[in-house]
Amino acid sequence: MKYHFRTILALALLGSASVQSNAQEVTQNNQADFAEFMDRSGNQLRAASGVPGPEYWQNEADYAIEATLDDVNHSLTGKITISYTNNSPQELDFIWIYLNQNRFTETSRGTLTTPIGGNRYTGDTDGGYTLSNLNAKVKRSSSTEHYIDDTRMQVYFDEPIPARGGTATVSMDFTYRVPVEGMDRMGRLDVEGGTIYSMAQWFPQVAVYDDVEGWNVEPYLGAGEFYYDYGDFDYKITAPFDHIIVGSGELQNPKQVLSSKVRERYEQARKSDSTVYLISPEEVNDMTLRAKQEGTLTWHFKMKNTRDVAFASSKAFVWDAARINLPSGKTAMAQSAYPLESAGEDAWKRSTEYSKASVEHYSNKWYEYPYPVAVNVASHVGGMEYPGLNFCDWTDTGKSLWGVTDHEFGHNWFPMIVGTNERRYAWMDEGFNSFINHYSTLDFNNGEYSSTLNQTRKFTGWMTNPNREGIDVYPDVANLQNLGMVAYYKPAMGLLLLREYVLGEERFDRAFRSYIEAWAYKHPQPADFFNHMENVAGENLSWFWQGWFYGTGNIDLGVDFVQTYQGNTVIGLSNKGEIPMPVEMQITYTDGSTELVRLPVEIWQRGDSWNHLVNSEKEVQSVEIDPEKVLPDVNFSNDSWPTSFYQD
Ligand SMILES: [Zn+2]
């Protein structure tokens, strides 16, 4: 290592000048850009390496539900028994249960916080729960004491649920009117052949008690999605005989609810890589394909280790299916249910092909799909995910149907397998999902559809808009115009930058897979994600997390000058933005040869300008930062030298 005399002299002169002119001011250094941000020290619950600690716990809620769908009065009436296990170190005097259908009243917080002109999360106001026969049991004690506030219900026990494994049972009867408009997450749609019931948020569901917040009881307002514990579900839906019901989890009683012909096709589809009709478009009204010709049928489903379940019911369904091949050799079943209106060649006829491809891609690339079925339902809901079942827009075709289907199935990984708190951290759900969707789309059918997430410079207009917000803003707080960026594109781009610019594919993929594996069926917090990625990738990324994920600053790298220096060339670079970045630049020499140079982010630790010595006697003709154009650099006019060399 050499230390140039000339540099020492320059520093000495600089030092004496500043002492003379301004003895009191201290120049700000760049430590703040690189220092740890937020409390990410580990504990016994969540280790600093980003894995669950030895004392990590989460509670469990198992559900048994029997409900009847009335397609004349559009109501759902049922009985639910919740078996709750308290694994926390505290005994619990009460639990909180979400009553999401209570959003659909005149006076709900969701209604009262919806703007006059409405928005995507508008909901009907003639619904809400009627509850009866509530019974809350711990051991032999029983209680009916409860308190309802908006979309939450507090249920008190006669004696507390013991800590570390104590159990309680809460049962009640419920009924409500199924809204038409269910905040773009559920509801009903009338088509030619009947009504399609998209049923979600359809039963009372226990809130999460965790080690970070205690009870997570933010009301159900609109943009904020969900946060639930894992459990086993056993549910039975009774509907008129002519309805087909598709649901999350495995159908338990095909012999009772499917005619022998449909059952035969069902078994055939289980073994088929191409789509098999269970009920073809021509057969929608053929009642000989139903198990009964009058009365009702009860469809029984079970799903293990899941946050939630949803289902759809209609007499208007075309129904098809195909096998999903998983990396372990196991199989699952892709299914689609849609009305005749959606059955076009370029439309829902391809839904099962899309569903199968999507689930197979994510299983191969990130983590194996754990559920027995993956159902895509055509609905008036624009696109909404539940474990093993989606509602997607019934009018979508072609690329947009691929896009929404792939996106909603991608949610099985975030947040259904990796169980984050969506109501607060939409970026860990929508953002991570949008990121994996990019590669799934590139992969599908030899690139039949394009994905443009890597064209990050398209977004610099938003990034420099004064109304922008940070990724960390809660979805119910974010300006709705910003939600697409803060919840989806910006975090997705952040992961893309990490993978394709900062860490490289191999390091990123290893860390990201490891994060999924470590937190599958658990509840990671943002700090757990940051810690995990840093520990497996072996890189302190605080400068990136705080700049990109928790700030509103931008990237702006620039070439200031290129000049010859003692027979070599010096390239003067500067970091004009708030987020430092490694510098990748392509140098082109006058003899036509090129060289790719990569400088680490640490060049910016001591200041915002850096001189790079090109150790070559060749004459430099041009320099271009980020030749692959991965960075959303907000001022790319200064990214090259000479300035006129590259302008896009
Ligand atoms: Zn989404």
Summarised one tens digit per residue, pLDDT across range 157-169 is: 999 999 999 999 9
Distance 234 CA to ligand 1 centre (A): 26
- Residue 547 DSSP class: I
Measuring CA to CA, which residue among 501, 646, 503 is closest to residue 587? Answer: 646
At 499-528, the pLDDT tens digits run 999 999 999 999 999 999 999 999 999 999
- Distances in whole angstroms, Cα of residue 148 to Cα of each of 79, 97, 130, 204: 18, 9, 11, 12
Mean pLDDT of 425-452: 98
Query: How far does residue 426's CA lie from ligand 1's centre (Å)?
Result: 9
Give the distance (Å) from ligand 1 centre to CA of residue 433.
7
166 CA to middle of ligand 1, Å?
A: 35
- How far does the centroid of ligand 1 lie from the alpha carbon of residue 366, in Å? 18
Separation of 430 CA from ligand 1 center, angstroms?
A: 5
Element (H, E) at 404: helix 398-410
Ligand 1 center to 9 CA (angstroms): 58
Q: Which of 10-14, 40-44, 426-430, 531-535 has the lowest mean pLDDT?
A: 10-14
Q: Is the preceding omega at residue 642 within 30 degrees of 0, hence cis? A: yes
Q: What's the CA-to-centroid distance between 45 and ligand 1, angstroms?
A: 29
Contact yes or no for 239/245 (Cβ under 8 A): yes
Distance 487 CA to ligand 1 centre (A): 9
Is the pLDDT assigned to residue 647 strictly greater than 70?
no
Higher model confidence: residue 643 or residue 514?
A: 514
Ligand 1 centre and the CA of 492: distance in Å?
A: 12
Confidence of residue 643 (pLDDT cuts 50, 70, 90): confident
Distance (Å) from CA 345 to ligand 1 centroid: 26
**Residue 370 Cα to ligand 1 middle (Å):** 19
Residue 287 Cα to ligand 1 middle (Å): 36
Sequence-ordered list of residues with C-beta below 8 angstroms from that of 501, at least 6 positions apart, any chain: 581, 582, 584, 626, 630, 631
pLDDT 10s digits, 619-633: 999 999 999 999 999
Q: Give the span between the Cα atoms of 357 and 488, in whole angstroms.
A: 22
Cα of 410 from ligand 1 centre, angstroms: 8
> What is the whole-number distance in angstroms between the Cα of residue 440 and the centre of ligand 1?
15
What pLDDT shows up at residue 26?
81
**What is the average pLDDT score of the chain?**
95
Give the mean pLDDT of 557-565.
Answer: 96
The whole-model pTM stands at: 0.94
d(CA 469, CA 487): 10
How far is ligand 1, taken at its centre, from the CA of residue 82, in Å?
28
- Tokens linked to 30: 């760049």
CA of 183 to the centre of ligand 1 (A): 14
- What local confidence, expressed as pLDDT, does residue 23 receive? 57
Q: What local confidence, expressed as pLDDT, does residue 29 receive?
A: 85
Q: Which residues contact 610 (CB under 8 A, 6 or more apart)?
A: 572, 573, 574, 575, 583, 599, 603, 604
Q: Judge whether residue 6 has pLDDT over 60.
A: no
**Ligand 1 centroid to 429 CA: how many Å?**
7
Q: Compute, in angstroms, the gap from residue 106 CA to the centroid of ligand 1.
A: 28
d(CA 601, CA 539): 11
Residue 21 reports pLDDT greater than 60: no
- Distance, CA 635 to ligand 1 centroid (Å)? 30
Is residue 4 scored above 60 in pLDDT?
Answer: no
* H-only helix segments in 52-116: 109-112
Residue 542: name the closest of 155, 135, 32 by CA.
Answer: 32
Q: How far does the centroid of ligand 1 lie from the alpha carbon of residue 111, in Å?
A: 22
Q: How far is the CA of 386 from the centre of ligand 1 (A)?
A: 10
Condensed to tens digits (0 to 9), the pLDDT of residues 345-391 reads: 999 999 999 999 999 999 999 999 999 999 999 999 999 999 999 99
Say if residue 8's pLDDT is above 50: no
Cα(411) to centroid of ligand 1, in Å? 6
Average pLDDT over residues 440-467: 96
Token digits of residue 4: 């140039």
CA of residue 41 to ligand 1 center, whole Å: 31
Q: Which region among 37-41, 88-92, 253-257, 382-386 has the lowest average model confidence (pLDDT)?
A: 37-41
- How many A from CA of 408 to the centre of ligand 1? 6
pLDDT value at residue 37: 85
Whole-number Å distance, alpha carbon 121 to ligand 1 midpoint, is 14
Instruction: Give the angle subtended at the CA of 537 by the CAs of 421 and 305, to the nearest 5°.
Output: 35
* Mean pLDDT, residues 421-435 taken together: 97
Rg of the chain (C-alpha set): 28
Residues with CB under 5 A from ligand 1 (ion): 430
Distance 407 CA to ligand 1 centre (A): 6
